Structure 1
Amino acid sequence: MRAFYDSKSKTIDDRGIRELFEEQTKYKAWLKIEAALAKAQAEAGFIPEQAALDIEQSAKVENIDFEEMDRIYREIGHGFVPFLKVLVKACPEDSGKYVHYGITTQNVQQSGQLYVMKQIHDKFMLLSGQILKNLSKLAAEHADTVMPGRTHGRHATPITYGYKVSAWISEFIDSIERLRESEKRVFRVMMGGAVGTFSTMPEVGPKVQARVAELLGMYPMDVPSRSINTHKLEYMMNLSLLGNVCHKMAEEVYQTSLEEIAEVAEGFKEGTVGSSTMPHKINPKLAKGIIANSQKLYSLPGVGSYSAVRPYEGDSSQYMLFDGLMEEALQLMTEILLRAEELTRTLQINKERMLENALRNKGLDNSEYVMMEMAKKLGKDNAHSLVYDIAIKTAAYGEDFYTNLKANDLIDEKYDDKELKDLIDPRSYTGLASQLAKEASKRAEKLSEELL
């Protein structure tokens, strides 16, 4: 088991991603690459044009004898040659001899892997666009929804929920931009042959490789060495960073949906069971799935880094490990993004509880506001000392902040009752939270439109 699956995996709409992990998808990619290679070689005058046409016509999954391929595999013990043999057999005899002409196994396997990855990547971008659309809506709708800001697990100064979402948007956009910017480095075709030097077709090799890349909607490698792996490692790391943002959102939902806080809740469908023994249980299914799969995803780039440094011009021990890691990373990311999309779309926001929590300390969270107002008269350091003494006395002994502020002659002289109550009202001290939320919402909406 690569990704962590649960009951939600059975019911969530996978947007057609999971079928891209099936064996048939891999074989279709190999066939597409062999057909593209033949076409490019024919255009370059390296093989007969008719051969390329025949290979393209024959390179269809319905023409492949998979039982025969399995029999040959058991006989010769090579992971790719059996596929070639049945493809050659599917072609007219005179054309079949030009199948896989002048290249090596890894050229097709790696290019095929990256071709499928690109299809999955495109699905990820669509999902990410939907997530950004959901976040944009949350940030805009709750730009002025006041709640406690928290640092070190304790109340800090007030914020709005839209502002909290704006931080997620900022990191999410950064992660998407990293992935999009890396496309030209990641999704590359290699057709350099055994060690990447185009030894079998030096006159036309680079031209053929560039044309194959064009036909596949990909990019050619500058140096088609089988030992180059940092582009794949980069993609895995970028997935981890995107997963990290989703993880952060999920952790916030997981923690703030606790009954004691109750500021948000996952969308709930009546009939969903949370426990075999506790009938009342409503668990954060989406959040916990994101958390578990993200934590596993983080471990993969480190292992991939060890795999990527195998010496010389090619080593199957490297491919065997790295290919498995990449597929695992993609499956984990699939589960993360599917859950993140539903989570951000169906999240329930309890505005009343957020305000109630912001008011819980009876204005103490606005101590900075009081300090900055007093600093205009006393200076920052003196104002800090003054308000600190009052705030700590209030917090330590459970006293009333307003009463203790009024008891100070300097403060009582400066503010009447209404002014002082306004000063310690959390709704009066959210800074630019609303503005930042609205600006982030617009950025998210703009990128979402590009991705969808």
Structure 2
Amino acid sequence: MPILPIDAGRYGSREVKSIFEEEQVLRYALEFEACVAEAQAMLGIIPKDAGVEIARKARSGMVRLERVKELEAVREHDVAAMVEALVEVCDEVAKPWVHYGLTSYDVVDSRIAMQLRDALALIERKMKRLTLLLAERALEYKDIPAVGRTHGQHASIISFGLKFAVWASDMLMHIKGIEEVKSRALVCKTLGVVGTGSLMGDKAVDVQSIVAERLNLKPVDAATQVVSRERLAEFIARLTLIACTLEKIAVEVRNLQRTEIGEVMEPFKEGQMGSSAVPVKRNPIKSERISSIAKMLRSMLIVALENIALWHERDLSNSANERFIIPMSIILLDEMLESMISVISGLIVKVDRIKSNLNSSKGQIFAEFVLDALIRKGMDRIRAYSIVQSIAFSAEMSGVEFRDALKDDARVTALLSEGEIDSLFDAGKHLASSSRIIEGVASNVYAVCKDMTTS
């Protein structure tokens, strides 16, 4: 019976979750055993006919999950049970050579790397799709002036498309970061009990190189009985950073969907209900889900960091929790990406509301440009700042339009004509380098994600 919402199908895509299902975990482990046997036979460490037999039986499907579980119930060791089940189906010539020179964590760490390899292929594809969507939105709204907010206050004019461009740039950084972490996290190990390759002698490193190449992994440079947990911690840290960026986007969507701002809305399908009690509610539930899951994912990084310091050549204090944090961190990030793709692809942008919000401060959002105009006329910066500030604060308290208050102040009109003041209140003139920035980001995105489509 499903316990966790991941198991019940609520979160995570089928394709990613299948990588961590018990049957697939067994297949990864058996493929590793097959590759090791083939490499050992190639190098003369075990008889060639034994290598052929082990590889054939490991890939035959004859090692059944049910049998492995039966053996594990007695042995209380999952890898030992898998090895015994493989021995059972092999011919006599191969039985002595199954798992030769290996230890259980050669299997476990290499199998984990295989899972990460396949999961990252799916995660990267979704990251690229999202990044393309963000770049396309950035270009779509690059010429739309909007309120730029700092500290929750109106600050100055921003291109609405620039929001998406910043997010696209952040995601592009993460795509490159995933590529970097692959070389350190996607490693296999065949060096035995304490990392010396003992029973395989000088050829142990050669076995590892052959196996790594066949599994599309890298051979670990050095290890104890386990691959250093810094590698997994870095991997989960990278996933966590991606999750934080997705949450950053989600928080902005949630804020922009607030009734008081109302510049965007998440897609809302026919028949959907936002509230069981209030029929008019259109809650940003996908963005809220992303924020919620991000908290969970960040907590897993703490566990991964705690796993780095093990006793001597290893202990078992990392094992149980990694059975949770590795699949869960990947599955949860997959859910976040799927949700964000849905949000951005279907996002309703209310351009009329964006424009009306520009005027909600009665023109005070243009204060930066008034200050600049006075400075350009030769006024001392501090004096100009003080004058603009006093006029703005007074206008706000009296409910007067900022533009009118400026025209009524002799200190301003001594330097600026009414026409010059009016010209400062054209939002479209204040997008500065926005188009150039956005187009530059889009160009970078297309160069990296050119093999993808947003459809």
Partner of 2:113: 114
| Larger deviation, residues 243-252 vs 86-95 | 86-95
Tell me the distance in 2 between the aligned counterparts of 1:255 and 1:401.
26
Encode CA deviations 1:336-366: one digit per residue, 9 max, x unaligned.
1111122221111111111111121132111
**Other structure's SS at 1:362 match:** coil
Taking structure 1 as reference, are residues 394 and 344 closer, same or farther at Cα in structure 2, changes over 3 Å only? same
Q: Is the 8 A contact 2:165 2:442 kept in 1?
A: yes
Encode CA deviations 1:190-242: one digit per residue, 9 max, x unaligned.
11101111111122000100111000000011103216110110000011101
**Other structure's SS at 1:80 match:** helix
Tell me the distance in 1 between the aligned counterparts of 2:136 and 2:8.
28
In structure 1, runs of 5+ residues without a counterpart are none
| Larger deviation, residues 29-38 vs 354-363 | 354-363
Is 1:51 paired with 2:36? no
Partner of 2:309: 309
Deviation at 1:324, TM superposition (A): 2.2
Partner of 1:224: 223
Read off the aligned partner of 2:437 and give its amino acid letter: L
| Larger deviation, residues 308-317 vs 54-63 | 54-63
Tell me the distance in 2 between the aligned counterparts of 1:282 and 1:307.
43
Equivalent residues in 2 for 1:95-134, closer than 5 Å: 95-134=94-133
TM-score (norm 1): 0.95
Encode CA deviations 1:293-349: one digit per residue, 9 max, x unaligned.
111111111122122212211111222223422222112211111111222211111
Deviation at 1:450, TM superposition (A): 5.4
Encode CA deviations 1:266-302: one digit per residue, 9 max, x unaligned.
1121011222222222221211111111111111111
Tell me the distance in 2 between the aligned counterparts of 1:311 and 1:294.
31
Aligned residues: 450
Tell me the distance in 2 between the aligned counterparts of 1:2 and 1:327.
15
Deviation at 1:61, TM superposition (A): 6.3
Q: Is the 8 A contact 1:114 1:188 kept in 2?
A: yes
The ranges of structure 1 where at least 4 consecutive aligned residues each deviate by more than 6 angstroms after the TM superposition are 1-8
Partner of 1:158: 157
Partner of 1:22: 21
Partner of 2:423: 422
Deviation at 1:93, TM superposition (A): 2.1
Deviation at 1:39, TM superposition (A): 1.1
**Other structure's SS at 1:371 match:** helix
**Other structure's SS at 1:201 match:** helix
Read off the aligned partner of 2:72 and give its amino acid letter: Y
Q: Is the 8 A contact 1:15 1:123 kept in 2?
A: no
Equivalent residues in 2 for 1:330-409, closer than 5 Å: 330-376=330-376, 377-409=378-410
Q: Is the 8 A contact 1:73 1:79 kept in 2?
A: yes
Deviation at 1:442, TM superposition (A): 1.8
| Larger deviation, residues 86-95 vs 32-41 | 86-95
Q: Is the 8 A contact 2:156 2:365 kept in 1?
A: yes
Deviation at 1:96, TM superposition (A): 2.9
Equivalent residues in 2 for 1:230-245, closer than 5 Å: 230-245=230-245
Higher relative contact order (CA 8 A, sep 6+): 1
Deviation at 1:170, TM superposition (A): 2.0
Deviation at 1:129, TM superposition (A): 0.7
Q: Is the 8 A contact 2:68 2:78 kept in 1?
A: no
Q: Is the 8 A contact 1:38 1:56 kept in 2?
A: yes
Tell me the distance in 1 between the aligned counterparts of 2:254 and 2:9.
16
Taking structure 1 as reference, are residues 124 and 156 closer, same or farther at Cα in structure 2, changes over 3 Å only? same
Percentage of identical aligned residues: 26
Tell me the distance in 1 between the aligned counterparts of 2:208 and 2:232.
19
Partner of 1:446: 447
RMSD over aligned CA atoms reads 2.1
Encode CA deviations 1:124-171: one digit per residue, 9 max, x unaligned.
100001001101100110111111000001100010111111211222
Read off the aligned partner of 2:183 and give its amino acid letter: K
Read off the aligned partner of 2:108 and give its amino acid letter: Q
Taking structure 1 as reference, are residues 75 and 101 closer, same or farther at Cα in structure 2, changes over 3 Å only? same
Taking structure 1 as reference, are residues 15 and 159 closer, same or farther at Cα in structure 2, changes over 3 Å only? farther
Taking structure 1 as reference, are residues 426 and 174 closer, same or farther at Cα in structure 2, changes over 3 Å only? same
**Other structure's SS at 2:148 match:** strand
Equivalent residues in 2 for 1:201-350, closer than 5 Å: 201-225=200-224, 226=226, 228-350=228-350
Partner of 1:188: 187
Is 1:69 paired with 2:68? yes
Read off the aligned partner of 1:257 and give its amino acid letter: Q
Q: Is the 8 A contact 1:135 1:165 kept in 2?
A: yes
Deviation at 1:4, TM superposition (A): 6.2
Deviation at 1:410, TM superposition (A): 4.0
Tell me the distance in 2 between the aligned counterparts of 1:325 and 1:337.
18
Encode CA deviations 1:42-88: one digit per residue, 9 max, x unaligned.
11111122222222221136211333322221222222111111111
Taking structure 1 as reference, are residues 2 and 69 closer, same or farther at Cα in structure 2, changes over 3 Å only? closer
| Larger deviation, residues 378-387 vs 366-375 | 378-387
Read off the aligned partner of 1:250 and give its amino acid letter: A
Tell me the distance in 2 between the aligned counterparts of 1:425 and 1:124.
43
Tell me the distance in 1 between the aligned counterparts of 2:44 and 2:327.
37
Q: Is the 8 A contact 1:146 1:158 kept in 2?
A: yes
| Larger deviation, residues 144-153 vs 392-401 | 392-401
Read off the aligned partner of 2:400 and give its amino acid letter: E
In structure 2, runs of 5+ residues without a counterpart are none
Q: Is the 8 A contact 1:172 1:242 kept in 2?
A: yes
Taking structure 1 as reference, are residues 448 and 148 closer, same or farther at Cα in structure 2, changes over 3 Å only? same
**Other structure's SS at 1:147 match:** strand
Read off the aligned partner of 2:157 and give its amino acid letter: P
Tell me the distance in 1 between the aligned counterparts of 2:104 and 2:306.
23
**Other structure's SS at 2:198 match:** coil
